[in-house]
Amino acid sequence: MYAIDPLRTDLVEEFRSNPGGPHSPELTLIVNRLRLMPMADRHILVCTQRGREWVLARMPSERGANLQLFEEHVFDDYRAGVWEVFRRRWHTVTGTELS
């Protein structure tokens, strides 16, 4: 599995400035690695109002179980929500906090 170098903040900034891509080959490897996390560690966005509001959530460890919603993390800007998901996944994989 691809190992993420937590010192590659240039790639973090590339993602932050353009979360929807297209991404450089190196950033694509990182994004794909973060998508392949174990389900129990995977943060996601849940759309609660079509095209207007998203809530941060965590996938359950068991299929069919409920999502863990973080209702204190509501986003009206999709890009801000995607950035929060990226930050949390990055921290889970690398152990490094992003601001």
Q: From first to last of its 99 residues, what are the pLDDT tens digits of the chain?
A: 789 999 999 999 999 999 999 999 999 999 999 999 888 889 999 999 999 999 999 999 888 899 999 999 999 999 999 999 999 999 999 999 998
- Helix H or strand E segment including 68: strand 68-75
81 CB neighbour count, 10 Å cutoff: 22
Q: What order do you get walking across the sheet with 53-58 strand by strand? A: 43-49, 53-58, 68-75
Question: Is there a domain that residue 3 lies in?
Answer: no
Q: Write the pLDDT tens digit of every residue in 64-87.
A: 899 999 999 999 999 999 999 999
Provide the domain count of the chain.
1
Q: What is the pLDDT of residue 38?
A: 85
Omega of the bond leading into 22 within 30 degrees of 0 (cis): yes
Prediction pTM value: 0.93
Q: What is the pLDDT of residue 82?
A: 97
Question: Is there a domain that residue 35 lies in?
Answer: yes
Q: What is the pLDDT of residue 93?
A: 94
Question: Is there a domain that residue 99 lies in?
Answer: no
What gap in Å lies between CA 61 and CA 31, rounded to an integer?
Answer: 21
Q: What is the pLDDT of residue 63?
A: 87
Question: Is there a domain that residue 4 lies in?
Answer: no
Q: What is the pLDDT of residue 1?
A: 73
Contact assessment for residue 41 and residue 85, using Cβ atoms and an 8 Å cutoff: no
What gap in Å lies between CA 25 and CA 80, rounded to an integer?
Answer: 23
Sign of torsion, CA 22 83 49 33? positive
List the domain range (segments joined by +) for residue 16.
Answer: 9-94
